[in-house]
């Protein structure tokens, strides 16, 4: 069956709607107490509507790019392999791509592409096998030492330390294999994300040192997820893939938006329960409602419009999420300790009494899942609308 863009968009829409309805019904059936009627209706309608809009925009731009590109699957496979080559071997990869253009026949093109990719995999690393073996050995030794060393100081972080060290070491080994030195074309956003990741790790250590019993809220699966997400943020900051774009405007817009969102989050926490004067209440109400939406939508829209492409807006959205995750997580934990010391409640639970370690579980759910999903959804919508507005046609 030949899939048209309209048919694929329709199927995607129904998949999103049905999946959300099933999830929503299960969540509502297990909720105690039940949420107010208007809140329940809003949560039933708004999230799937945003996801459907984002999915249709992604399909629209992906399909348009696929229609423009005349490269078949063997050509795409070889192009991806060539893009992974170090710069000094890129000319050889382009020669293989040019030879593939002369090969006729689907099976012959597949054989040539697979043999070329196999040859690329057998090439010695750019720095030489001894250097790569030495770096890999150092990484393995670091991973083996991280568990006992961190486990002795902070027992609840043993799994996280091993997972994060392994993932960071894998990125180092890959960089050495490609002989790709870290580039900082956008130093300020890179430093922001790297500093946010470091702050997140420090705050987690301080939180578990102060409340050792909170380690039960960081099970091995959650620890590995935290390590993977923070390592992914570093990957975006230090070695962002070329397909994401190389523009300088989008990372700056994304970093600024993440700082705005983190400031909004801190302000929302600190003003909760206060009674400021009426004029200030009106201003704060507008800021607290519009700031998070604008922090995700505006940078992607602006980057998409300035770059006249969906990719530029998507780059801004990814940078926003990459900076937002560690910043909000680093703000959440100390504020949770402060709030719990005041009233014994959760940071988002108001006066609900709960163990202080439950704040760690909330931080993982919201900072690693809820905020990124919301940010990427609004960012994709902003990127699609920005690119569509900037399109001369």
| SS3 of residue 241 by DSSP | coil
Q: Has residue 67 got a pLDDT over 50?
A: no
pLDDT value of residue 68: 41
CA proximity to 329, closest of 209, 231, 198, 159: 198
Mean pLDDT, rounded, for 102-118: 79
Tens digits of residue pLDDT in 256-299:
999 999 988 888 887 766 665 656 556 666 666 677 788 899 99
| Residue 127 pLDDT grade (very low, low, confident, very high; cuts 50, 70, 90) | low
Q: Cβ-count burial of 277 within 10 angstroms (0-12 exposed, 13-18 middle, 19+ buried)?
A: exposed
Pairwise CA distance, residues 161 & 197, whole Å: 13
Please answer whether residues 178 and 86 qualify as being in contact, where contact means their C-beta atoms are separated by less than 8 angstroms.
yes
Assess whether pLDDT exceeds 60 at residue 374: yes
33 prior amide bond cis, ω within 30: yes
Q: What is the pLDDT of residue 162?
A: 93
**What pTM value is reported for the model?**
0.81
pLDDT for 283 = 64
**Range 191-210 burial, b when 16+ CB lie within 10 A, else e:** ebbbebbebbbebbbebbee
pLDDT tens by residue, 282-293: 666 666 667 778
DSSP 8-state symbol, 179: T
Choose the weakest-confidence range: 128-137, 158-167, 301-310.
128-137
Burial per residue of 236-248, b for 16 or more beta-carbon CB atoms within 10 angstroms, e otherwise: bbeebeeebbebe
Q: What percent of the chain has pLDDT over 90?
A: 29
Q: What is the pLDDT of residue 392?
A: 53
Q: State residue 154 phi and psi, 5-degree precision.
A: -135, 90
More confident residue, 210 or 120: 210
Is the pLDDT score of 40 beyond 90?
no
Instruction: Compute the CA torsion angle 59, 61, 62, 68 (nearest 10 deg).
Output: 140
When pLDDT is cut at 50, 70 and 90, the band that residue 69 belongs to is: very low
At 333, the pLDDT band (50, 70, 90 cuts) reads very high
- The tens digit of pLDDT for each residue in 164-209 reads 999 998 888 877 776 655 556 688 899 999 999 999 999 999 999 9
Contact 54, 317 (CB under 8 A): no
CA angle 201, 204, 210 (to 5 degrees): 140
Q: How far apart are the first and last CA of the chain?
A: 31
């Amino acid at each position: 069956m030949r899939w048209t863009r309209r048919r694929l968009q329709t199927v995607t829409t129904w998949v999103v709607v049905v999946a959300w309805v099933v999830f929503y019904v299960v969540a509502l059936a297990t909720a105690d107490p039940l949420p107010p009627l208007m809140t329940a209706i809003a949560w039933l309608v708004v999230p799937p509507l945003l996801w459907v809009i984002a999915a249709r925009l992604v399909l629209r731009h992906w399909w348009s790019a696929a229609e423009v590109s005349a490269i078949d699957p063997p050509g795409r496979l070889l192009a991806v392999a060539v893009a992974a080559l170090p710069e000094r071997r890129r000319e050889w990869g382009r020669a293989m791509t040019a030879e593939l253009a002369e090969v006729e026949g689907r099976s012959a093109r597949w054989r040539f592409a697979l043999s070329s990719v196999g040859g690329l995999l057998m090439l010695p690393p750019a720095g030489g096998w001894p250097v790569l073996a030495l770096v890999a050995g150092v990484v393995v030794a670091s991973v083996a030492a991280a568990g006992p060393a961190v486990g002795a100081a902070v027992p609840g972080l043993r799994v996280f330390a091993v997972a994060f060290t392994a993932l960071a070491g894998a990125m180092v080994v890959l960089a050495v294999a490609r002989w790709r030195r870290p580039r900082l074309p956008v130093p300020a956003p890179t430093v922001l994300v790297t500093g946010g990741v470091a702050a997140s790790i420090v705050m987690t250590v301080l939180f578990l040192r102060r409340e050792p019993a909170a380690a039960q809220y960081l099970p091995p699966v959650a620890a590995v997820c935290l390590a993977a997400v923070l390592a992914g943020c570093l990957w975006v900051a230090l070695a962002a893939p070329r397909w994401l774009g190389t523009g300088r405007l989008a990372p700056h817009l994304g970093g600024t938006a993440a700082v705005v969102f983190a400031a909004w989050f801190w302000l929302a926490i600190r003003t909760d329960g206060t009674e400021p004067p009426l004029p200030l209440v009106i201003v704060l109400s507008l800021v607290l409602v519009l700031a998070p939406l604008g922090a995700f939508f505006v940078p992607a829209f602006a980057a998409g419009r300035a770059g006249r492409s969906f990719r530029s807006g998507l780059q801004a959205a990814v940078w926003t999420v990459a900076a937002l995750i560690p910043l909000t997580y680093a703000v959440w934990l100390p504020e949770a300790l402060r709030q719990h010391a005041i009233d014994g409640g959760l940071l988002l639970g108001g006066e609900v009494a709960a163990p202080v370690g439950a704040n760690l579980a909330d931080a993982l759910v919201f900072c690693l899942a809820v905020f990124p999903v919301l940010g990427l959804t609004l960012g994709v919508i902003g990127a699609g609308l920005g690119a569509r507005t900037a399109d001369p046609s």
